[in-house]
A and B are shown apart, each in its own frame.
Chain A
Amino acid sequence: MERKKVFLISVLAVMAVMLTQAQEVKVPLRFDYYYSYEKMNEALKALNTAYPAFTKLEEVGRCEEGRALMALTINNPKTGEPFSKTGVYVDGNIHGNEIQAGEVCLYLANRLLTNYGKIAEITEVVDRNVFYIIPVVNVDGRAHFFADANTPSTNRGLRIPIDDDRDGLYDEDGPDDIDGDGSITNMRIRDTLGRLKSDPSDPRLMISVKPGEKGEWTRLGQEGIDNDGDGLVNEDGEGYVDGNRNWGFNWNPNYVQRGAGNYPFEGTGIKAIAEWMLARPNIILVFAFHNNGGMYLRGPSFKAAGELPQGDISVYDYLGLNMEKIVPGYEYLISWKDLYATYGDFTDFTNNLVGSYSLVGELYQPETETYDGTLKRTSEERSRFGEASESERQRLLFDDNVNQGELFREWKTHKHPLYGDIEIGGWTKMSSRLPHPFMLQDLVHRNASSVIFAARQTPEVTMDVFEVKKVGGDLWSVRVRLVNKGAIPSVTYQTIKNKLYPIDKLSVAGSSAKVVAGGVLTDAWMNLVNYKEFRPEVQMCQVPGFGKIEYQFLVSGKGDIEIKYESRKAGSISKTVALK
């Protein structure tokens, strides 16, 4: 018995090392283990060193504990400067515990860089876009998630101390790793008057006793002691300000939503990213990766915002419905309606204030850990709190036989300073919300593919001067067509609605020519034009996704005229035609 225990512990220790530690970081990067914060930075550095011309690695800012927040920019200088292209921004791990989000970002960078020039579609998407990648937003959280004992859900927030129990002391009584296994699991105590008993089908699980039945157990909550001697256990743990509730769009204070922080952009890293993004006005597509559930979410994040403009919904639908196919089982959903309302979250900020199409990827479906070969949605059989569910039994069998029991800590007796003899056990920190590393490759590849699919839909605008016709005397009719091959328009409809920034500009100028009239050509055959009364030589416009827009100018004069299209997000085009 004792020998078996020692053996088990040493096996676990070795496995823990395999899971988190590793291996020299080399390009192409490996995705069969999780990168610690330090390793993640090494990996970014390795990509940067391997592709110096295509990449720029920079520090965006620092989080509360002083850790650097790193961004990798991927741009092919031969096809133009970053601002001349559409920007695709991808980040992850804004919640410190949701670490595989960082691997998705890293994999995307690795995939794009190592296959440039080899796979035509990747070459094209890299040539046409600039990628801004911040794999880890909550760098303090990721570092602590690896280094400290945690549950799968702790270390989510920013490292801003909050006095949860309002006793004047900050973060003084968090969970404690009593059994020293690197995870915070659960405590239970034998109690014949308890309301729980062991599940007959799997004694590791507990179920409620029926009225009149004798109990076996009482739950004591997460592993921990009463650190501050106030008679409460684990009542004031680390944080909590949620990095994804601290952005400056529709932010609301703590009593409206827990984790808001004192004011928008209180988080130093959050503020640094906001400023970094606002300095990159070419960003039109944003992905933010989280765990878990297997979802792609679009905004709005709260009901009162009202629905998005129909034009934007069509774009999201096109992307979302395709991404559902790229990652089987993932559902494309609306944030507030299908999940819950949030205030001050990241994608509402980017959607409204950066003017970008913004999607949240909720990575990983625990339902894939089944042992009967089927993939079940928990929503179909969600159990009441405190009840062991069929899916939990399946997950245990899966862990027993597919992971050799690596992720579930068997109940074991311990002496607790307060409770005396108790048992500690349950799911470890690397379980439940994270796929086992053997499944990581599939997750990162498919989700990076969703990003690449969407990036292939960024606006690709071409200009065609399809008519230069003499009307009479020195008056000419010049017709210009702007065509967008991508599904994403050159300006979001929400941006137009909000008047966020000056939209695209189409202008006509010539040294010996004057634009007499100009406007949108609504019907080329009937010659119907919505002429603009003032400054006809400048037209503010949007080029719709999978669409076109046509203009007619009446120009008086001679010689060359320059027709220019300038867009914050969709690049610039200039053509010169002669009036002859």
Chain B
Amino acid sequence: MIKLPVMRGMMLLVATLLMAPVPASAIEKYSDPAAVNRRIEQLRQANSQLVRVQKMAVTPGGREMLMIEIGSRGTSVPAVLVGANMTGLSPVATEAALDLASRIVRDANMHSDLTWYIIPVGNPDAYARYFVKPLWSDAGNARPFNDDTDDQTDEDGYNDLDGNGIITQMRVKAHDGMWVPVDGEPRLMRRADATKGEKGIYKLYTEGIDDDGDGQYNEDVPGGTNININFPHLFKNFGRRSGLYPGSEPESAALLKFAFAHPEIAMMISFGQTNYLLSPPQGGRKGSMDTENIRVPREIGTAMGIDVSRTYTMAEIIEIVQPMMPPGMQADESIIASFLGLGAVVNPLPEDMAFYTAISADYKEYLKKKGVTAERFDPAQPEDGAFEMWAYYHLGLPVFTMDFWGLPKPKEEKKESSGITAESLGKMTSEEFLALGEEKIAAFLKESGAPAQFTAQSLMGMVKGGQMKPEQMAAMMKRMPAPKADEKKGDPKETAQLAFSDTWLAEKGFTPWKSYKHPTLGEVEIGGFTPFSDNTPPVSMVDSLLDMQLPFISDLVKKLPKIAIAEVKATEKGGGVYQVEAWIANEGFLPFPTAMGKRNKAPAPAILTIEGDGMEVLSGTKRTPVNDLGGMKSARYVWLVRTTKKGALTLKLESKQAGNDSERINIGG
């Protein structure tokens, strides 16, 4: 059964984009996978010096998944990997990837010292369905999959009973119905609330018949694996459309292999259903280790000779373990995590959240400057096993995602409101918070659906007493489920979707309910939302959406870490002994590597080598890994060398991801 994905995220309260109703668009229609590949080939032919095309995989449906490689310096410079439309459900993501490719080709600043690997359609099989009738939405590729594990495969798909070319829904009056029409908008449905004395009227089905006579409707729709959730981080075993194992599909397997074969990839950008620029990755998953409160398992603790009844910080454990390590081996977070069996990291690390939050603020500022002030629904967070999660958690890359368009939030008659948001709360001092007064705070708590035990009074007491800071409160608020909207008005997102259809799609986004004689269900009504109408803007809006948002990518890549030798100095100590010191600077905004990259040791460190004729290194190493340079930070490296004659000493810094540098200095004599 397919229900249009329902987003229940908090409404975004900051100014974000709506579409600008600019009519003339160069894009006349979305390109199907074959047309995408033709456009890729045209781009290559027109720019054969700069553009190469790689065939990454052939899908189970026999389609070619292509990658556009742009740049003239290949693997000798850092690279950005762009993956688009991994679900096959995001037409605008594919257009964006193709548009980005032509922008990069046109702009020497974008390709002179960067290589780009762009995959416009990560899930060609699923995407192909967007272009055939009847229209339905399924992220599975063309691998046959027996959803209901009966004796037939793909035998009970949807049926376009009303012949309108769109798979919508069926509503049927039934004794065990759970749905009733929304008050004031009978086109929409909501769940009846038995606790309020309501009885359900309708059962909802997707449009179709029981093709295999097993009593179920559309329970084995053609569609295999959703490429977007076939990646190894938090992969869901036996999940719907998740595939047999991470990388079980040619599309995803090709990406796993490619990414690790290309250590120069320094950033990943994904175009699809999430938008880290508007909604940075969220924490709050259970199971993540807390590096401030680590519990040491009894057996290990006993062997280490430490008290296992208390918890330790990561720094404390490193201190305890370091003397036990074999010579030359550094006890780091990665080793400790694996040694103590702390398990996988499931939430973005706090150090990395710092850059996500900062860049998100930049982006919102950038949009404001572009004149985007309308509100839209909060973008989704990634699903388990998603492409963008893998790139951060396993490749250790900074990952940015864009969805380009979301349903505009309908204008509501303004209610009296506290004017406080979780975000504004987070920036307040305790004094400012208390100054709001009890009435405003109480209103804010009510709006945000805070549990009853948190009264304005109790909170103010805690803030006064210093047990709680506004910042902590804001963090708690963000983790809380969104306040329930007025339930009788139905799902706010569906209301918005309907309003958008009525205003912008000439009502084509919703098929009005119409009665139909169903072979087994009897009298039914068929109607409901058109698939894709919640995430796909009309083609006429695409150009302006991309014009507005894609240029930010050039700002993003300017933030890549860039390491350099800032200064080299030699001091004579006597007896031919010199102290050599070098400052290595990260001139970029982003850290090298991310905190997650450090944890998983995923990007290779930069290597700092020191060489000189007739020179002997007395302390320090000839090849020093450099792998902990925060954005805009510098680190000092020191050696003692001995030389008997005058000569040059060369320091070389080499990193596939963050650039190369070298310096010579004369010593001796």
Within 8 A of B (CB), among A524-547: 533-535, 538, 540
The answer for the CA separation of A507 and B151 in the assembled complex, in Å, is 10
> If A263-B256, A264-B246 touch, does A540 touch B150 (CB 8 Å cutoff)?
yes
How does the 8 Å CB contact mask read for A347-390 relative to B, with 1 for contact and 0 for none? 00100110000000000000000000000000000000000000
Residues of B within 8 A of A229 (CB): 622
Residues of A within 8 A of B627 (CB): 166
By the criterion CB–CB under 8 Å, are B149 and A264 in contact? no
Within 8 A of B (CB), among A237-262: 248-258, 262
Residues of B within 8 A of A438 (CB): none
The answer for the CA separation of A501 and B148 in the assembled complex, in Å, is 9
Residues of A within 8 A of B338 (CB): 254-258
Residues of B within 8 A of A507 (CB): 151
By the criterion CB–CB under 8 Å, are A263 and B625 in contact? no
By the criterion CB–CB under 8 Å, are A256 and B150 in contact? no
The answer for the CA separation of A352 and B213 in the assembled complex, in Å, is 30
Residues of A within 8 A of B328 (CB): 165, 231-232, 235
Residues of A within 8 A of B238 (CB): 498-500
Within 8 A of A (CB), among B583-600: 599-600
Within 8 A of A (CB), among B625-669: 625, 627, 654
By the criterion CB–CB under 8 Å, are A534 and B341 in contact? no
Smallest Cβ distance from B616 to chain A, in angstroms? 11
Q: Does B245 contact A (CB under 8 A)?
A: yes
Q: Does B429 contact A (CB under 8 A)?
A: no
The chain A residue sitting closest to B151, CB to CB, is A505
Smallest Cβ distance from B265 to chain A, in angstroms? 13
Q: Does B133 contact A (CB under 8 A)?
A: no
By the criterion CB–CB under 8 Å, are A254 and B214 in contact? no
Residues of B within 8 A of A266 (CB): 256, 260
Smallest Cβ distance from B239 to chain A, in angstroms? 11
> If A167-B607, A229-B622, A253-B232 touch, does A248 touch B244 (CB 8 Å cutoff)?
yes
Q: Residue B215 contacts which of A263, A533, A540 (CB distance < 8 angstroms)?
A: A533
Q: Does A168 contact B (CB under 8 A)?
A: yes
By the criterion CB–CB under 8 Å, are B600 and A253 in contact? yes
Q: Does B360 contact A (CB under 8 A)?
A: no
Q: Does B601 contact A (CB under 8 A)?
A: yes
> If A262-B260, A499-B149 touch, does A166 touch B605 (CB 8 Å cutoff)?
yes
Q: Does B515 contact A (CB under 8 A)?
A: no
The answer for the CA separation of A266 and B344 in the assembled complex, in Å, is 19
The answer for the CA separation of A255 and B327 in the assembled complex, in Å, is 20
The answer for the CA separation of A207 and B245 in the assembled complex, in Å, is 49
Residues of B within 8 A of A221 (CB): 326
By the criterion CB–CB under 8 Å, are B213 and A230 in contact? no
Q: Does B146 contact A (CB under 8 A)?
A: yes
By the criterion CB–CB under 8 Å, are B625 and A167 in contact? yes
> If A501-B149, A502-B149 touch, does A254 touch B213 (CB 8 Å cutoff)?
no
How does the 8 Å CB contact mask read for A142-172 relative to B, with 1 for contact and 0 for none? 0000000000000000000001011111000
Within 8 A of A (CB), among B245-262: 245-248, 253, 256-257, 260
Chain A's interface: helix, strand, loop or mixed, by majority?
loop
By the criterion CB–CB under 8 Å, are B601 and A248 in contact? no
Q: Does A341 contact B (CB under 8 A)?
A: yes
Q: Residue B654 contacts which of A168, A254, A264, A533 (CB distance < 8 angstroms)?
A: A168
How does the 8 Å CB contact mask read for A475-514 relative to B, with 1 for contact and 0 for none? 0000000000000000000000011111101010000000
By the criterion CB–CB under 8 Å, are B625 and A168 in contact? yes
How does the 8 Å CB contact mask read for B336-352 relative to A, with 1 for contact and 0 for none? 01100111110000000
By the criterion CB–CB under 8 Å, are B394 and A353 in contact? no
The answer for the CA separation of A501 and B327 in the assembled complex, in Å, is 51
Q: Does B604 contact A (CB under 8 A)?
A: yes
By the criterion CB–CB under 8 Å, are B151 and A540 in contact? yes
The answer for the CA separation of A341 and B215 in the assembled complex, in Å, is 43
The answer for the CA separation of A231 and B326 in the assembled complex, in Å, is 13
Q: Does B237 contact A (CB under 8 A)?
A: yes
By the criterion CB–CB under 8 Å, are A264 and B247 in contact? yes
The chain A residue sitting closest to B253, CB to CB, is A265
Residues of B within 8 A of A168 (CB): 604-605, 607, 623, 625, 654
By the criterion CB–CB under 8 Å, are B215 and A163 in contact? no
Q: Does B313 contact A (CB under 8 A)?
A: no
By the criterion CB–CB under 8 Å, are B232 and A263 in contact? yes
Q: Could you name 14 residue pairs across A and B whose Cβ atoms are closer than 8 Å?
A: A221-B326, A231-B328, A235-B328, A248-B244, A248-B248, A252-B343, A253-B394, A253-B600, A254-B338, A265-B247, A278-B244, A500-B238, A507-B151, A535-B212
Apart from A168-B625, A256-B338, A498-B238, what 20 extra A-B contacts exist at CB < 8 Å? A165-B328, A166-B605, A251-B246, A253-B394, A254-B601, A255-B599, A255-B600, A256-B337, A256-B343, A256-B344, A258-B338, A262-B260, A263-B260, A266-B256, A352-B237, A501-B149, A502-B151, A534-B215, A535-B212, A540-B150
Q: B residues within 8 Å of A by Cβ?
A: 146, 149-151, 212-215, 232, 235, 237-238, 244-248, 253, 256-257, 260, 326-329, 333-334, 337-338, 341-345, 393-394, 599-601, 604-605, 607, 621-625, 627, 654
The 5 closest A-B pairs by CB, nearest first: A248-B245, A168-B607, A534-B215, A232-B328, A167-B623
